[in-house]
Amino acid sequence: MLFSVAADSYESAVREIRAEFGRDVRIERVSGDLGRVVGLAVEEFAEACDAGRIIFVRHLTIEVASFRVDDLPPGYELAELILAELRDYPKALAVQAWTDGASTGGSYYHLLQDALADRGVTVTRSDQEVVVSCFVGRRAVLLGLNRLEFSLSDWPGGRMRLARSEDRVSRSEFKLEEAIATFGLELPAGGKALDLGASPGGWTRILRQHGQEVWSVDPGALDPRLRGDRRIHHAATTAGRFFAENRVRFDVVVNDMRMDQVMSARMMLDAGAHLRRGGLAVVTLKGGGKNPLDGARRGMDVLRQEYDVLHARQLHHNRNEITVVARKL
C-alpha cells in the first residue's frame, strides 16, 4: 500500500503508523512525500486515518505495479493490467496522476485516459467509486488502485487544487473549503456560526457561502467586500471579551487563530460554552517545533474534554497545521 504525506511530515506519519499497527510493520520511503507500507489492510488503515488516530497521511492506494520511467509499457498494456485487477468490468474510473516534481502528471493522465477509453471505460479525474493512482517519480512510475471510500481524498496524492476567484478574501479560505469537501461536512441550514480570529474574513466568507449567519470576532478589520452583508456581524474585539458579553447560541464554531496547539484547543473549550450540544467545531492546530505530532496530540486531548473528535488530518492546504473537526458533547 502506498501513502502520501507532506514531505516534512513523513517521519511523523511513520511514528503514527508504528504506534497504531506495531513497531515491526514494514515501511519504506518511495519519494519525498510518498511511502510504502507492507502487510496492512487498506480498510483498517483508512479507518485509523478517518478516526484521527493517524493524522499525517493524506491519501492511500494499493500498489499494483511499478516500472522504471524509461521502461514504461505502452498504454494498452497498462489498461489491461489495471482492468485485470478489477473483478467487475467498470463503466467508469477516476484516474489521478501526480509527480514528485513541479509538473502535474497530465501526460500520464492522458495516456491512461486514452488507453482505458479504447476499452470502453469512461475516465474522469474524480467522483468515481474506484480510483487509479499514477505516481511519477524520478526513477519509477507506480500504479495503484483503491476504492474511493478508502482513499482519504479524491485528489491526486491528496493534493486538492481549488480554483482561485476574484471574490477570495485570503488564502486561508482554501483550508476550510478543503475540510468541508474532504470530510463531507454538512453545515445546518440557516445556522449561526462563530468565526474566531476572523480577519480579514476568509473563513467568514466560506461560512456565508454555506448559508450561515456569521459572528466574526477579531480586533482587525474585515475585507470591505464583506461589510455590506447584513448576516455578517463583526465584533471588533478579542475572543475573551466577546465570550463575556455574548448571548447567542451557535451551531458552528471555527478557529484559525495563530496560537500553539494547546492554546487553540483551550480557546475552543471557552467557545464550547456558547455552542449548542452536537454543534460542529473546526479548528486548525498550528504545527512547528521539534515534535509537531506530540503537540497536535496534546491539543486534541484538551479538545476531548468538551468535544467528540470526528476527524483530524494534515490537509494539503494546511502546510504545517492539522485540521480537527469535532462535535460538542
pLDDT tens, residue by residue, 40-56: 999 999 999 999 999 99
Rounded to an integer, what distance in angstroms lies between the CA atom of residue 265 and that of residue 306? 10
| 222 confidence band (pLDDT: 50, 70, 90) | very high
C-alpha cell at 255: 478557529
The helix or strand, by DSSP H or E, that contains position 245, with its residue range, turns out to be helix 239-245
* CATH annotation of 2-158: 3.30.2130.30
pTM of the model: 0.92
SS3 (DSSP) at 122: strand
- 91, 286, 290, 328: the catalytic one is 286
In which residue are the cell numbers 489498461 written? Answer: 79
Residue-level pLDDT at 84 = 95
- Do residues 64 and 1 make contact, with C-beta atoms less than 8 angstroms apart? no
**Any idea where the domains of the chain sit in the sequence?**
2-158, 173-328
What average pLDDT does the segment 235-246 reach?
97
Do 173-328 and 2-158 fall under one CATH topology? no
| 91 carries an active-site annotation | no
| 172 confidence band (pLDDT: 50, 70, 90) | very high
∠ CA 134-139-144, rounded to 5° = 20
State yes or no: pLDDT of 298 exceeds 90: yes
Looking at the domain 173-328, which fold is it?
Rossmann fold (3.40.50)
Strand ranges, E, within 88-203? 92-99, 122-124, 130-136, 140-147, 192-196
What average pLDDT does the segment 225-243 reach?
96
